[in-house]
Amino acid sequence: MIIHSGGTSRKGGQSEPGSNRLFHIRQSSSGATRAVEVEALASNLNTNDVFVLKSPKGLFVWRGVGASEEEMKAAKHVVHFLGGSPNNVSEGKEPGWSQTHSWHKRLVTTDFWSTLGGKKEYQTSKSLQGTDRPPRLFDPSGRKGLPITTIKQGAEPPTFTGWFQAWDPKMWEKDPLERIRAGF
């Protein structure tokens, strides 16, 4: 399944796709894989997943070190849908200007990071890389001695935010009432 950003199915509700498009490809614990278009920013990358970036500069498939083969298969489907021949970029093996790679390879990587607004910090969690954990059900009442974890706003761990596709860590930096007023 590919979920695009911008618009609805209502007449006149669609918006034109941006020139830079980033698709987050993620496999759920049930094995379902989906691609969701997110804002094309380096901070939206996640070490445990695969991303497809389409821009006027090219088509890129970025594979995080914790990504699964199923996510890579889904990336091929997204690439086929978007059209073009992708440049594969592996996390941690992106050639930089200081490395001795061909000029073309350095240009490809520079275009990748510049399309995402420059190389920035993104979601990483070594404890989650390459592990498959079955879903667990918790009883929040604590009646049976189960642990209850308190998560403070602004200090959410990656094991929590990773479950929410559109998590915005800056959401509460601006007054919600001001956000609503700005929409009018």
Q: Is residue 10 part of a domain?
A: yes
Q: Which residue has the tokens 């800056």?
A: 170
pLDDT digits (tens, 9 = 90+) for 30-85: 778 888 888 888 889 988 899 999 988 788 899 998 888 889 999 998 998 888 88
Percent helix, strand, coil in the chain, to 5, is 25, 20, 60
Q: Is residue 176 part of a domain?
A: no
What pLDDT band is residue 134 in, cutting at 50, 70 and 90?
A: low
Token pair listed for 7: 């618009």
Is the separation of the CB atoms in 94 and 64 below 8 Å? no
Tell me phi and psi for residue 44, to 5 degrees.
-85, -5
Name the strand (E) or helix (H) holding 182.
helix 176-182
Tally the domains of the chain.
Answer: 1
Q: Is residue 112 part of a domain?
A: yes
What local confidence, expressed as pLDDT, does residue 132 receive?
A: 55
What local confidence, expressed as pLDDT, does residue 12 receive?
A: 65
Which candidate, 80, 78, 110, places its Cα nearest to that of 95?
110
The domain that holds 11 is classified in CATH as 3.40.20.10
Average pLDDT of span 158-164: 80
Is the separation of the CB atoms in 119 and 113 below 8 Å? yes
What pLDDT band is residue 173 in, cutting at 50, 70 and 90?
A: confident
DSSP string, 89-106: EETT----TTS---HHHH
pLDDT digits (tens, 9 = 90+) for 100-114: 445 445 455 567 788
Domain that holds residue 66: 2-141
Q: Structure pTM?
A: 0.60
| 106-115, 127-136, 164-173: segment of lowest average pLDDT | 127-136
Q: Is residue 168 part of a domain?
A: no
Please give the share of the chain, as a percent, with pLDDT higher than 70.
Answer: 71
What local confidence, expressed as pLDDT, does residue 157 receive?
A: 82
